[in-house]
Amino acid sequence: MSVLDEPLHFDPAALGAGVRPGKVTLVGAGPGDPELLTVKAARALQCASLVLYDQLVDPAVLALLPRDAERIYVGKASGHHSMAQDAIIELMLGLALAGRPLLRLKGGDPYIFGRGGEEAQALAAAGVPFEVIPGISAAQGAAAMAGMPLTHRDHACSLVLTTGHLRQDAHGDAGDRIVDLDWDLLARPRQTVVVYMGVGTLPIICGKLIEHGLPADTPAATIERATRPDQRTVVGTVATLPSLALLHRVKPPALIMIGGVVSLREQLAPASSGVRLSANA
């Protein structure tokens, strides 16, 4: 296994003429459970010789790689980045332009909050051949294992996937951080909202939704480490979920699910899918 502490800088012009770029395969590793890999993804893993992998890739998935495969960790955990995204792209391009085929392994699906689109753009612009192998998303895995269908005729006729990640406020002081979302859209009735990367901003998210008209008693939940043996689900309402998440020390990786489908958990959740904590827990 290789861990890079410093970004690498590649000059494609210095790599020499006549070198054919290696193919890059962007692979979705799924939400965690290795049995949820697609057949195509599993085959790609078994043939890989060089792998760049993220923090959310489960060790059981990495165990499917050949023993002699070179592994480079480029993950991003909450509050700590092994490598910046620009440096990851630079590394990937440098290796591919040097003629090395590689597998870029991402948790969930590369094109759903995995920044796979940015990486694919960079590969296309550099003339590097690439393939995308989709994976089961974290939202799909969490919904199935927590007993909360993403859509349901009686509860949700649409699905919204969004991110609760903080960004710099361009109009405020350097320390100001905001969640910049379409709150009117997210507060509409009869839909399911799934928030990625929102644990740290959960009070803001729930407060804004109520402020924009979503009833405070709308069912809401956090699903922590979805599809893994230690998956944990905390269930409440939009009004109570922030305090419940704090009480039960919910930590990333975790998704937030909001909408009437959350109320189906008691009936549909598999017995092994974690603990149910009520709004009054």
- Distance of alpha carbon 1 from its chain centroid, rounded? 23
Q: Are 159 and 129 contained in the same domain?
A: no
| Interval 177-221: pLDDT, tens | 567 899 999 999 999 999 999 999 999 999 999 999 999 999 999
Give the catalytic positions in this structure. Answer: 54, 76
Degrees, nearest 5: CA angle 154-224-208:
60
Q: Are 126 and 169 contained in the same domain?
A: no
State both tokens at 210. 């109520």
Residue carrying structure tokens 């993403």? 150
Amino acid residing at 238: V
- CA-CA distance, 53 to 73, in Å (whole number)? 5
* pLDDT at 72 (0 to 100): 97
Contact 105/83 with Cβ under 8 angstroms?
Answer: no
Q: Are 62 and 129 contained in the same domain?
A: yes
Residue where a domain terminates, one of 135, 167, 199: 135
Written as tens digits, the pLDDT of the chain (281 aa) is 444 444 444 454 445 557 899 999 999 999 999 999 999 999 999 999 999 999 999 999 999 999 999 999 998 765 555 689 999 999 999 999 999 999 999 999 999 999 999 999 999 999 999 999 999 999 999 999 999 999 999 999 999 999 997 665 555 443 445 678 999 999 999 999 999 999 999 999 999 999 999 999 999 999 999 999 999 999 999 999 999 999 999 999 999 999 999 999 999 987 645 445 544 44
- Look at residue 55 and give its three-state secondary structure: coil
- Look at residue 145 and give its three-state secondary structure: helix
Pairing of strands 192-196, 254-258: antiparallel
Q: Are 84 and 7 contained in the same domain?
A: yes
- CA-CA distance, 224 to 86, in Å (whole number)? 28
- Say what the pTM is: 0.86
Q: Are 37 and 105 contained in the same domain?
A: yes
Contact 22/101 with Cβ under 8 angstroms?
Answer: yes
Contact 74/88 with Cβ under 8 angstroms?
Answer: yes
The CATH number of residue 208's host domain is 3.30.950.10
Q: Are 150 and 261 contained in the same domain?
A: yes
